[in-house]
Amino acid sequence: MATLFISDLHLSADRPDITSLFIQFLNNEARQAEALYILGDLFEAWLGDDMVLPEYAEAIAAMKALSGSGVPVFIMHGNRDFLLGETFASMSGTTLLDDPTTIDLYGKPTLLLHGDTLCTDDVKYQQFRAMVRNPAWQQQMLALSPEERLALAKQYREMSQAETGNKAEDIMDVNQQTLEQVMKSKGVYHMIHGHTHRPAIHDFNIDSQAATRIVLGDWYEQGSVLVCDDNSCELQGLKA
C-alpha cells in the first residue's frame, strides 16, 4: 500500500472534466491507499463553510465516501481555499492540517506545506497572504452576503491574474534560502509541497546533509499524484 499526495486541483464549474477525474481517482486509486493528503487549493475558491457552491457537492460526497471506506483524508489550506473550516471537514470526512505539518512518512520525518510561504521573493503576494490569513479579515469576509463574497472573490482573482502576468517566473517560485531555513528549523530533510505548479523532485544538501524537496503537480491539463511507499516516492500523471 502507498500514501498519496495531491494539490492544486482548483476545482471549479469551468472544468467539470477535472472534477470528474478527481471523483474517479477517489473511487479507484485512492481506495487502495493508506492515506490521502491534499496540500491546498483543492477548490478554485471556497467562500465559507456556509456557502458550498453546487459544483463542489459531488466531490465532497466522494471524499466522505473515501474516508468512510477506511482511508483517512487530510487536507491543508491553500491560497484559494483558506476559508475551509471544521464544518467542511465534517461534511467531507477530512481532517484539517496546519501549514506546515510534519508527518512520519515510512520512518522519514517529512514536512508538508502548501508551498506559498516559501515564495518569499514575491513580496506583494506575501503581504496579501498576511491580510487574508488574519482572523479579523476572515470574520469580516464571512459576514458578507453570498453575493458580496462572490464579487470580492472575482475581484481578487482578476487582480491576481493581472499581477501574475507582470511578474518574472523566478519571483513566483520557491526561495532556496527560505526553504533551507524552514527545513533546518523543523529538523527535517524531506519536504513535500504544491502551489508553484512545477512538479519535480529536487535533491540538494543542507550543511552536507542530503535533502529532498518534492513539488506536486497541478490538475489543469491532467491529474497529478505523488505515490510514496516504504521504498520511494514517484510523481505520476492521471488521465480520464
Could you tell me the CA-to-CA distances from 117 to 73, 131, 195, 206 in Å, in that order?
A: 23, 13, 10, 19
Residue 190: alpha-carbon gap to chain centroid: 17
Do the Cβ atoms of 196 and 174 come closer than 8 Å?
yes
pLDDT confidence of residue 101: 98
Residues 6+ apart with CB under 8 A from 132: 82, 138, 141
Helix axes 135-142 and 146-165, enclosed angle (nearest 10): 130
pLDDT confidence of residue 9: 98
Cα separation, 211 vs 228, in Å, equals 16
**What domains are defined for the chain?**
3-238 (3.60.21.10)
Poorest-pLDDT segment among 101-105, 143-147, 169-173 = 169-173
Query: Can you tell me the mean pLDDT for 233-237?
Result: 97
115-165: pLDDT as tens digits: 999 999 999 999 999 999 999 999 999 999 999 998 988 888 888 777 776
pTM (two decimals):
0.95
Cα Rg, the chain, nearest whole Å: 17
In 3D space, the residue among 214, 181, 193, 222 whose CA is nearest the CA of residue 97 turns out to be 193
Q: What is the mean pLDDT of the chain?
A: 94
pLDDT confidence of residue 166: 67
Could you tell me the CA-to-CA distances from 225 to 5, 15, 18, 185 in Å, in that order?
A: 6, 18, 13, 27
Do the Cβ atoms of 118 and 175 come closer than 8 Å?
yes
185-227: pLDDT as tens digits: 999 999 999 999 999 999 999 999 999 999 999 999 899 999 9
Residue 169 has pLDDT above 80, yes or no: no
